[in-house]
Chain A
Amino acid sequence: MVRKRTVTRSQEYSESIINTVREPLIVLDQDLRVVTASRSFYDVFKVKPEKTVGQLIYDLGNKQWDIPKLRELLETILPQKATFDNYEVEHDFATIGRRIMLLNARQIQRVLGKERVILLAIEDITERREIENGLEKARKELAATKISEDAAREYAESIINTLREPLIALDQDLRVVSASRSFYDVFKVKPEKTVGQLIYDLGNKQWNIPKLRELLETILPQKATFDNYEVEHDFATIGRRIMLLNARQIQRVLGKERIILLAIEDITARREIENGLEIARKELETIKISEDEAREYAESIINTVREPLIVLDQDLRVVTVSRSFYEFFKVNPKETVGQLIYDLGNKQWNIPKLRELLETILPQKATFDNYEVEHDFSTIGRRIMLLNARQIQRVLGKERVILLAIEDITERREIENGLEKAHEELKELAAELKRTARVKSEFLANMSHELRTPLNSINGFSEVLYDETFGPLNEKQKKYVNNVLTSGKHLLLLINQILDMAKVEAGKMKLALSGLPMKSLLNEISLLVEDMVSKKKIEMLLEIAEDLPNIEADELKVKEIIYNLLSNAVKFTPEGGKFGLRAKKADSKIEIVVWDTGVGIAPENMEKIFEGFFRVDTPYSRVTEGTGLGLPLSKKLVELHGGKLSVESEGLNKGTSVRFTLPIVSRKVV
């Protein structure tokens, strides 16, 4: 009878510990049914205890936990390994939406039964990932927009400084370009002794680590990236450390050289905790089950959680504390157990707010959650802590004990503040980018206006002269004024095409979509080039499929594309040659090929033809003909419609064919 009561109480005690920690925690039996879950589990996943306990985990909350990866972890990995760490799972929950979670689990022997239970800790890292992705996205956007080099560098450095992880940027020769504040903090080195140095020479050559050399000199050049390389090293300044290295080799935004970004995570403490847990678990297994061990079970839970936990008696004297408490507050058991909490570590715990909580609030309410306390500790400096407490009946005695969980949120606050700052900076940057875009657009409008105004005179007066509106010209005068007019019109075409290119590139080109009768439109444009064809003794072949559908597109732009390609074909085909157009339906698109038997394109020029202002030298075409922008602009206009354009040529004098597609129904929302 006594024993049974003890068992019940020990369970209560364990559960109250579970409920005091902030990470959602769930305890499952061998059949994966829920034995108990922490308060925070109910809070975070918005489920009720009565619908949770006793349920199969996969059935929780309308089966929303039936996640293939979780099944794999629980059913395959855990039975083999007894533990898994930091499994990342992304899942779309019915109640709380898409979440990314980090799962940590331990399979432990249940003290008072024979079966095994599974302790599953769930950390929601969705927001952290979003922030990371946001930063990554912002970085990419930034690289895409060509803002000044200084701004780009400042921005990159502000990101580097915002990250909590020590981060170091190296150049191609493995010399330090920049390092984050946290790098200097963690490794206790100074900027002036770091920047410009070879990484191996940093801090008295303490970074000359064989494994790091291998990573940077052998692996990185081949792979451009490596993830989670674990390196253990004895540093002169900070002692033996286990670090997780992540690196990226990236193109510097506005320069040509490559830089290496190396992120260093110190996992020494994490490993120690993990090792401690493993030892505790093993010890637990070897001990015979007895009433005393009920308490050990409770304590093993205390030691499983990473949060410092302290158990006080009625008189606020320490009964026991978690390993993490000793580690965190840098105190030892001797000067802790049996002491009044306020006297711990040179009375540094004598905090007015804590007194109020323990002496006034707790006796009335038996529990308090998330009390934030900021305090300047003599050993560990100013810290912001979140306190959670439960007042419970002691398992093996009659008196009450107080369970106090302490979460250090100092760094989290710092990160939050850093993120807030980064967010502000991003907002400013976005405003700056908007302004730059507006200035650019205004510049384009002005340039267009300023160039057109004199052209109006050049083209207008020469046209009036050529038309002999005010009297006849002799043959030579007429020929010369026609030369002026031809050049003026060429210049106008050039201005229009440059403007169009700039508009497409600035994302300002808008499509005026309508239904286009393609068959008649193709015939209409072929008539436009007929004039050029008849002057040159070349043959045009039109092959338009009977079932060629109408498409949804911008009429003027489609005409421009086809006209550009046909006039190129005419231009680059010698007398006696052929050119033509084939059009057919291809799935949800139409495919048009404009081909010719002309001068073709040498393989080495295949890329250049899309760069703009490149013209194939040819005996059949004067250099002044065409702008060299027709093809690149056509490609951009095709892509704007959601199609693709490609050019094929067997080589010089082997002809060319330009193939492009246009969707039948436009995907673009304009």
Chain B
Amino acid sequence: MRKKALVVDDNRDNLLLEKDLLEVAGFEVLEAENAAGGIAIARREKPDIIIMDVRLPDMRGTEAAKILRQNKETRDIPIVFVTASVMAEGREEIKAITNTGFIGKPINTRTFAKEISQLLSEFSNILKSQIQKR
């Protein structure tokens, strides 16, 4: 079964690039250009992974992630932040959220989809052990 990935980025070019790369790698790709739209799609479609920009027009990607973590149906979806904010200060707010990854912009197109797939399998292992603990 094809894995479902949701890409949230307000820059349409970046959105298109990531979508292309993920589709070539066999993902089914959903798109959103702001956090609110992303959250709505996540609740409706329950993607396997969310690829999220940090600076979004309506709120920070990390704030959207916190909202997703509060809802039972979306709290376990892994989120990979793809952001041009690569200064060390930006990393802290990401680390504070569970099941998240980080890829800096500009992305490496040759490894991007591979990194996402790899993170996805790491997260599903973590998730399994978390569910067992519960």
CB-CB contacts of A484-496 with B at 8 A, as 1s and 0s? 0000100010000
CB-CB contacts of A462-486 with B at 8 A, as 1s and 0s? 0110010110000000000000000
Interface membership of A329, Cβ < 8 A: no
Interface membership of A510, Cβ < 8 A: yes
Q: How far is the CB of B29 from chain A (nearest CB, A)?
A: 15
* A452/B109 in contact, CB under 8 A: no
Contact of B109 among A445, A450, A467 (CB under 8 A): A467
Bound-state Cα–Cα, A488 to B84, Å: 15
CB proximity to B under 8 Å, residues A426-471: 444-445, 448-453, 455-461, 463-464, 467, 469-470
Bound-state Cα–Cα, A450 to B105, Å: 11
Contacts of B89 in A (CB 8 A): 445
Closest residue of B by beta carbon distance from A488: B106
Given contacts A455-B106, A459-B106, A492-B106, contact A464 B17 (CB under 8 A): yes
CB-CB contacts of B78-114 with A at 8 A, as 1s and 0s? 0000011111111000000000000011111110000
CB proximity to A under 8 Å, residues B14-53: 14, 17, 20-21, 24
Closest residue of B by beta carbon distance from A499: B87
Contacts of A456 in B (CB 8 A): 11, 13-14, 17, 84, 105-107
Determine chain A's interface SS by DSSP, over half rule: helix
* A464/B14 in contact, CB under 8 A: no
Contacts of A458 in B (CB 8 A): 106
* B85/A460 in contact, CB under 8 A: no
Bound-state Cα–Cα, A464 to B24, Å: 11
Closest residue of A by beta carbon distance from B112: A460
* A445/B90 in contact, CB under 8 A: yes
Closest residue of A by beta carbon distance from B83: A449
Closest residue of B by beta carbon distance from A449: B84
* B17/A452 in contact, CB under 8 A: no
Interface membership of B55, Cβ < 8 A: yes
Closest residue of A by beta carbon distance from B10: A453
Contact of B11 among A453, A459, A467, A510 (CB under 8 A): A453
Q: How far is the CB of B64 from chain A (nearest CB, A)?
A: 18
Bound-state Cα–Cα, A459 to B13, Å: 12
* B109/A464 in contact, CB under 8 A: yes
Contact of A469 among B13, B24, B83 (CB under 8 A): B24
* B14/A445 in contact, CB under 8 A: no
Interface centre among A457, A460, A463 (most CB of B within 10 A): A460
Contacts of A464 in B (CB 8 A): 17, 20-21, 109
* A452/B87 in contact, CB under 8 A: no
Q: How far is the CB of B114 from chain A (nearest CB, A)?
A: 13
Closest residue of A by beta carbon distance from B11: A453
Closest residue of B by beta carbon distance from A460: B17
Contacts of A452 in B (CB 8 A): 84, 86, 104-106
Q: How far is the CB of A253 from chain B (nearest CB, A)?
A: 30
Contact of A448 among B20, B24, B84, B110 (CB under 8 A): B84
* B106/A460 in contact, CB under 8 A: yes
* A457/B17 in contact, CB under 8 A: yes
Contacts of B105 in A (CB 8 A): 452-453, 455-456
Given contacts A456-B14, A464-B20, contact A448 B109 (CB under 8 A): no
* A445/B85 in contact, CB under 8 A: yes
Bound-state Cα–Cα, A448 to B85, Å: 7
* A444/B87 in contact, CB under 8 A: yes
CB proximity to B under 8 Å, residues A522-539: none
Q: How far is the CB of A489 from chain B (nearest CB, A)?
A: 9
Q: How far is the CB of B106 from chain A (nearest CB, A)?
A: 4
Bound-state Cα–Cα, A456 to B86, Å: 13
Bound-state Cα–Cα, A456 to B21, Å: 13
Q: How far is the CB of A182 from chain B (nearest CB, A)?
A: 47
Given contacts A452-B105, A456-B14, contact A463 B110 (CB under 8 A): yes
Contacts of B17 in A (CB 8 A): 456-457, 460-461, 464
Bound-state Cα–Cα, A510 to B86, Å: 14
Q: How far is the CB of A505 from chain B (nearest CB, A)?
A: 15
Contacts of A451 in B (CB 8 A): 84
Contacts of B109 in A (CB 8 A): 459-460, 463-464, 467
* B87/A448 in contact, CB under 8 A: yes
Contacts of B110 in A (CB 8 A): 463, 467
Contact of A445 among B87, B106, B107 (CB under 8 A): B87
Q: How far is the CB of B99 from chain A (nearest CB, A)?
A: 24
Contacts of B108 in A (CB 8 A): 463
Contacts of A459 in B (CB 8 A): 106, 109
Given contacts A452-B84, A453-B84, A456-B84, contact A469 B106 (CB under 8 A): no
Closest residue of B by beta carbon distance from A510: B88
Closest residue of B by beta carbon distance from A512: B88
* A449/B85 in contact, CB under 8 A: yes
Bound-state Cα–Cα, A461 to B21, Å: 10
Bound-state Cα–Cα, A451 to B104, Å: 13
Closest residue of A by beta carbon distance from B85: A449
Interface centre among A445, A451, A453, A469 (most CB of B within 10 A): A453
Bound-state Cα–Cα, A467 to B24, Å: 12
Contacts of B90 in A (CB 8 A): 445
Q: How far is the CB of A627 from chain B (nearest CB, A)?
A: 17
Bound-state Cα–Cα, A510 to B87, Å: 11
Bound-state Cα–Cα, A213 to B111, Å: 75
Interface centre among A449, A469, A470, A492 (most CB of B within 10 A): A449
Bound-state Cα–Cα, A455 to B11, Å: 12
Contacts of A450 in B (CB 8 A): 84
CB-CB contacts of B52-64 with A at 8 A, as 1s and 0s? 0001000000000
Interface centre among B13, B83, B90 (most CB of A within 10 A): B13
Can you list 29 contacts pairing A with B, beta carbon distance less than 8 Å? Answer: A444-B87, A445-B87, A445-B90, A448-B86, A448-B87, A449-B55, A449-B85, A450-B84, A451-B84, A452-B84, A452-B86, A452-B104, A452-B105, A455-B105, A456-B11, A456-B107, A457-B13, A457-B14, A457-B17, A458-B106, A460-B14, A460-B21, A460-B107, A463-B108, A463-B110, A464-B21, A464-B109, A469-B24, A470-B20
The 4 closest A-B pairs by CB, nearest first: A452-B84, A456-B106, A457-B13, A463-B109
Binding site for B on A (CB under 8 A): 444-445, 448-453, 455-461, 463-464, 467, 469-470, 488, 492, 510
Binding site for A on B (CB under 8 A): 11, 13-14, 17, 20-21, 24, 55, 83-90, 104-110
Besides A451-B84, A452-B106, A456-B107, 7 other A-B contacts (C-beta < 8 A): A449-B84, A452-B104, A456-B106, A457-B17, A460-B21, A464-B21, A492-B106
